[in-house]
Amino acid sequence: MLSVIITTLNFQGNSKLDMPSPDISTQIAGIPLDNCLYNASGAWCTSEQELTDLAQSAAGAYIAKSTTIAYRAGNPKPRYVETDWGTINSMGLANGGFDFYLSFAREKAQQLGKPFFMSVAGLTLENNLDMLRRLAQVDEVAGVELNLSCPNLPGKPQTAYDFQRTEEVLHKVFKFYKRPIGVKLPPYFDIIHFERMAEILNSYPLQFVTCINSIGNGLVIDIDKEAVVIKPKGGFGGIGGDFVKPTSLANVRKFYELLKPEIQVIGCGGVKSGQDAFEHILCGAQAVQIGSCLMKEGASCFDRISSELRALMLEKGYQSLDDFRGKLKVNTDEEKGY
């Protein structure tokens, strides 16, 4: 208790305990969220019960599992495994189908009263355009995340690793889609790739990008069995959790630097504490999604992580996310030779 009181005294001797609780509200594409934390699409958001849990949690919004036109059973099980350092998954976009999430939006989400986002992951470009044509008429869905980065569909490449294809998709989408929309990107690892993708994104009126989807095609091995731990694709799957945080922070940071200010960056990857969320915001994130930790801990993680984020902000004397968003300190003497 003593240490709590001491750490909340600033150098002038004023108690930060007297300061109002920090505000962690934000907005995505102008849609107000009273909490900057919400779920990553895919984590605890496939069934009506899971979506209702999220709506009733401390999350500031919620997004459904990436939807295809029709219901999909997904890849064979086991397809999701937790390790000490994170997770591997190959769900294969198991989801309830477009009409299921649309009915949820119309019949339930309205009453639950929290911004509800849909994630669209058509199996073809035409499927994506069909779903978006329908969503273009729907008021009950606050915004759409177009998933261009699922690594787990056998025989289907991750669209956003193909720059020309990504351009074609965005070109067709923005011919008619005028509502809040963003894209979910895979992780990039080369500065040239960040620059090329940012150049494409900057030429369209999208409102946000979500960085990052899982790191595709990792392999986790059970040493006792000398075998892979998940069944699909010879054991290859998307990596999430603790291990991906440095990659997700780098992606948030680089896109925050390269994208035009109208495009917000939503951080996703390796967030399980208030400090992790703080780091994403410091890199420039407008809001922060939680995946692996939500799967492990359940929807109560939003309460815990928001309290930790508020406590950290209080300790640092920050009242709102704008006080530190994007203000990561870097060495400015460095020669820009990269």
Q: For residue 250, state whether it binds ligand OXC (rule: CB under 6 A).
A: no
Q: Which residue has the tokens 């960085």?
A: 211
Pick the closer one to ligand OXC by CB: 26 or 66. 66
CA angle at residue 208 from 297 to 245, to 5 degrees? Answer: 40
The alpha helices in 8-89, defined as continuous H runs, are 48-55
Closest by Cα among 162, 150, 328 to 252:
328
Peptide bond between residue 230 and the one before it cis (omega within 30 degrees of 0): no
215, two tokens:
């790191």
Distance in angstroms (rounded) separating the CA atoms of residues 255 and 84? 29
φ, ψ dihedrals at 90, nearest 5°: -145, 70
As a 3-state breakdown, the chain gives helix, strand, coil percent values, each rounded to 5, of 35, 20, 45
Q: For residue 238, state whether it binds ligand OXC (rule: CB under 6 A).
A: yes
Distance in angstroms (rounded) separating the CA atoms of residues 82 and 84? 7
Within residues 152-181, the interface with ligand OXC by CB under 6 A covers 152
Are β-strands 208-211 and 181-185 bridged in parallel, bridged antiparallel, or unpaired? parallel
Q: For residue 39, state whether it binds ligand OXC (rule: CB under 6 A).
A: no
Q: For residue 89, state whether it binds ligand OXC (rule: CB under 6 A).
A: yes
Q: For residue 186, state whether it binds ligand OXC (rule: CB under 6 A).
A: no
**Position among 66, 159, 210, 289 found at the interface with ligand OXC (CB under 6 A):** 66
Stretch in the footprint of ligand OXC (CB under 6 A) among 109-117, 124-132, 143-151, 247-255: 143-151
Q: For residue 251, state whether it binds ligand OXC (rule: CB under 6 A).
A: no
Distance in angstroms (rounded) separating the CA atoms of residues 160 and 106? 30
Q: For residue 92, state whether it binds ligand OXC (rule: CB under 6 A).
A: yes
Pick the closer one to ligand OXC by CB: 170 or 244. 244
Pick the closer one to ligand OXC by CB: 51 or 313. 51
Pick the closer one to ligand OXC by CB: 46 or 264. 46
Give the nearest distance from C-beta 318 to ligand OXC in angstroms: 32
Options 45, 150, 211, 268, the catalytic residue: 150
The closest residue (CB) to ligand OXC is 238
Pick the closer one to ligand OXC by CB: 103 or 217. 217
Q: For residue 150, state whether it binds ligand OXC (rule: CB under 6 A).
A: yes
Distance in angstroms (rounded) separating the CA atoms of residues 33 and 332? 34
Pick the closer one to ligand OXC by CB: 152 or 264. 152
φ, ψ dihedrals at 292, nearest 5°: -55, -40
Please tell me the count of residues contacting ligand OXC according to CB under 6 A: 15
Q: Is the dihedral of CA 44, 47, 51, 53 positive or negative?
A: negative
Stretch in the footprint of ligand OXC (CB under 6 A) among 6-14, 88-96, 254-262, 267-275: 88-96
**Position among 35, 57, 213, 247 found at the interface with ligand OXC (CB under 6 A):** 213
Residue 70 CB neighbours (<10 A):
13
Whether 293 sits among the annotated catalytic residues: the reply is no
In the 8-state DSSP scheme, what is residue 320?
B
Q: List residues with catalytic annotation.
A: 150
Note the residues at the interface with ligand OXC (CB under 6 A).
42, 66, 89-93, 147, 149-152, 213-214, 238
